[in-house]
């Protein structure tokens, strides 16, 4: 069954002829970094397709190692590198580096493999930089709700909940701070947070960041849509 599926995926790519490469990695439940190898192409109907060809345990972050992994997989699937027309990764230096990054190493083998940075990752970096430049906002967001370590747009839900239930959250914090059976360390932290809710800066930043993050979130979701339009996506960015 596995072999039949792979043969079908290979046939799809070969029929389309031209394709682009997407490589990303994330830890699995056993905390092993898994490298995802994806090929993106346009079928005969003009629809964009993405096919996952495998999850590979990542042994190194070195760009030379990653290049060898990509080339080895293409050879195993009998897919010619010369037909590659694009490559997309995140903005990490080992992937995007101009001289020794993965994109640069692959371009030495195929000059038509144009590098396009991941738009969603770029957008998340912008959000991170904006938050780091505004320390009170960064600390307030993280103290209210645990958020994703990989996607800044996940903070949109946290700030929206804070903005919508501002008074109720403050009231709950006050109750925790005064609860007789609560641990002293939790009571102290709750009282400290409740006092911050009375500060003008906290209230103002909550409203500003709610609007800003909702915009980032909507753009991020649009960029992940399989029917996303390139021109509209560019204008939103």
Per-residue pLDDT of the chain (237 residues; tens, 9 = 90+): 778 888 899 999 999 999 999 998 877 777 778 889 999 999 988 888 999 998 888 888 899 999 999 999 999 999 999 999 999 988 888 888 889 999 999 999 999 999 988 777 777 777 767 666 666 555 555 555 554 545 555 678 888 888 889 999 999 999 998 888 888 888 898 899 999 999 998 899 889 888 888 888 888 777 777 677 767 777 776
Domain finish residue from 92, 117, 142: 117
Same domain, 83 and 150: no
Domain final position from 100, 117, 134: 117
Domain co-membership, 66 together with 139:
no
Q: pTM for the full model?
A: 0.61
Residues 87-120 as b/e (b if ≥16 CB within 10 A, e otherwise) read bbbbeeebbbeeeebbbbbbbeebeebebeebbb
Residues 125 and 188 in one domain: yes
Q: What is the pLDDT of residue 11?
A: 92
Contacts of 99 (CB under 8 A, 6+ apart): none
Per DSSP, 81 falls in state G
Domain interval for residue 70: 1-117
Looking at residue 41, what is its pLDDT?
94
69 and 35 in contact (C-beta within 8 Å)?
yes
H helices of the chain, where? Answer: 2-16, 63-76, 93-96, 102-109, 119-132, 135-144, 155-164, 166-178, 184-196, 200-223, 230-236
Of 16, 30, 166, 26, nearest in space to 84 by CA: 16
Beta carbons of 206 and 163 less than 8 angstroms apart: yes
Tokens of residue 64, six digits: 């030379």
Q: Could you give the CA distance from residue 214 to residue 210 in angstroms, rounded to a whole number?
A: 6
Q: What count of other Cβ atoms lies within 10 Å of the Cβ of residue 60?
A: 12
163 lies in the same domain as 111: no
């Amino acid at each position: 069954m596995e072999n039949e599926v792979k043969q079908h995926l290979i046939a799809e790519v070969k029929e389309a002829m031209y394709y682009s490469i997407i490589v990303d990695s994330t830890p699995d439940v056993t905390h092993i970094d898994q490298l995802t190898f994806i090929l993106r192409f346009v079928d005969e109907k003009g629809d964009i397709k993405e096919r996952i060809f495998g999850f590979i345990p990542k042994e190194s972050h070195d760009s030379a190692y990653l290049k060898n992994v990509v080339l080895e997989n293409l050879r195993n699937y009998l897919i010619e590198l010369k037909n590659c027309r694009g490559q997309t990764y995140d903005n990490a230096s080992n992937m995007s580096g101009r001289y020794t990054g993965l994109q640069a190493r692959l371009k030495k083998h195929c000059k038509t493999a144009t590098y396009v940075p991941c738009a969603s990752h770029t957008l998340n970096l912008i959000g991170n930089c904006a938050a780091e430049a505004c320390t009170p906002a960064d600390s307030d967001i993280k103290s209210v709700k645990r958020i994703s370590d990989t996607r800044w747009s996940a903070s949109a839900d946290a700030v929206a909940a804070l903005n919508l239930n501002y008074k109720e959250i403050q009231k709950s914090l006050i109750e925790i701070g005064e609860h007789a059976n609560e641990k002293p360390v939790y009571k102290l932290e709750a009282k400290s947070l409740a006092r911050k809710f009375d500060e003008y800066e906290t209230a103002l930043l909550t409203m500003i960041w709610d609007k800003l993050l909702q915009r980032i979130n909507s753009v991020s979701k649009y960029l992940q849509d399989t029917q996303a339009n390139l021109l509209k996506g560019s204008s939103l960015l």
